Amino acid sequence: MEPVRILQFGMSPNPGGVESFIMNYYRNIDRDKVQFDFVKMYNQIAYEEEIESLGGKIHNISFFKNHPIRNYYDIRKLIKKQNYKIVHVNMLSAAYIIPLIAAKKSGVNYIIAHSHNSSTSPGLVRNLLNFLNKSKLQRNANHFFACSTLAGNWMFGNASKQGINIINNAIDVSQYKYDSSIRAKLKKELNLEGKFVIGHVGRFQYQKNHEFLIDIFSEVHKRDSNAFLLLVGDGELMENMKKKVNLLGISDAVKFLGKRSDVNELMNCMDIFLLPSHYEGLPVVAVEAQTSGLRCILSDVITTETNISGQVEFMSLKLSAQEWAEQILSNQFKNDRENAYKKTINAVYDIKSSAKSLEDFYLSFE
């Protein structure tokens, strides 16, 4: 029997939160029963080789920003040719809803709109489209997913007749279990032995608020010269942040590691995790950090649903960098890192059980 094939929208060249979410589920779903196929609007998308090795198909279509009308007709042609019955559209905002409209017009039976965010990034056109298109979501999708209640209410309001299904940003818990031997190895490799390591993982863009993060760390370093900042990720603002670090005179206490495939291991050598984002849906990286046993300090615009371990503190972005720094240094307690992963499992954020639930949802359509 052939597996049910789901057409997935939402992959970009950047292996960010949405891409990680999709791949975490794809790796752990029973691919003899359910297969994911992907739409590609860029020269490449993240995880292409892995997708193909897992049996997924990648379909090229026109990039919507350059050719919005052609993008619409490419999607309709693809749906008709491949006879997709289920389309899953992963969304950071309602600015781009062409896949939902095309799927509806093509007679797709099951159209899922999935919110992964709780705000939009700056941009007049993007925010205008998001505002105008939100009213069209109910007319073009018939199932509504979100990574958190906050993300669901922001994208869909409370008007969804079928209700909003919360799909946890689950992870492979076994990959993020704390390992003291890996910690020792990486501390040595990165020259971090004896340092108090503040960690952050995120793309260098407005959403992640690196400007403020570096200000916070500068204040921490004034108070504790043993502090060190580890930044993982790349993006268009990285060079600006490197200049800022130099201007503040803290370049010897900051490492820019760029894009890494070993984030799970790097978290072992961190002592605290910092995420002062302007907005988030429910950040996967915070779930990963808690699974590794890290104390986390997040901005209070992030949903409290993120706190699955009891080790998360939320602080206002209206507070000064000095106040954030004092809070970071006020409580350098030692967590029971070896057993932290159990809390992730108990909170139903383990990908094994979550993938089975999503698989059952897809199969219920058959």
Average pLDDT of the segment spanning 181-188: 98
Please report which confidence band the pLDDT of residue 162 belongs to, taking 50, 70 and 90 as the band edges. Answer: low
The mean per-residue pLDDT over the stretch 5-16 comes to 95
- Asked if the model's pLDDT at residue 161 lies above 90, the reply is no
pLDDT at 201: 98
pLDDT digits (tens, 9 = 90+) for 207-236: 999 999 999 999 999 999 999 999 999 999
More confident residue, 292 or 65: 292
CATH superfamily of domain region 173-346: Glycogen Phosphorylase B; (3.40.50.2000)
CATH architecture of 4-170+350-363: 3-Layer(aba) Sandwich (3.40)
> Distance (Å, rounded) from C-alpha 203 to C-alpha 210?
9
- Residue by residue, DSSP assigns 104-120 as HHTT-SEEEEEE--SS-
Question: Are the C-beta atoms of 344 and 169 separated by less than 8 Å?
Answer: no
pLDDT at 334 (0 to 100): 67
Q: Where residue 160 falls among pLDDT bands split at 50, 70, 90?
A: low
pLDDT at 332: 64
Banded pLDDT at 251 (limits 50, 70, 90):
very high
pLDDT band at 192 (very low <50, low <70, confident <90, very high): very high
* pLDDT value for 336: 86
DSSP for 197-264 reads EEEEE--SSGGG-HHHHHHHHHHHHHH-TTEEEEEEB--TTHHHHHHHHHHHT-GGGEEEEES-S-HH
Output b/e per residue, 320-336; b: 16+ Cβ within 10 A.
ebeebbeebeeeeeebe
Q: Which residues make up the CATH 3.40.50.2000 domain(s) of the chain?
A: 4-170+350-363, 173-346
Question: Is residue 159 pLDDT above 60, yes or no?
Answer: no
Q: Are 114 and 90 in contact (CB under 8 A)?
A: yes
Please report the pLDDT score of residue 333 as a whole number.
Answer: 60
- Count H helices and E strands in the chain, helices first: 15, 13
Residues 6+ apart with CB under 8 A from 150: 118, 281, 282, 303, 305
| pLDDT (mean) for 313-318 | 98
Per-residue pLDDT reduced to its tens digit, 256-301: 999 999 999 999 999 999 999 999 999 999 999 999 999 999 999 9
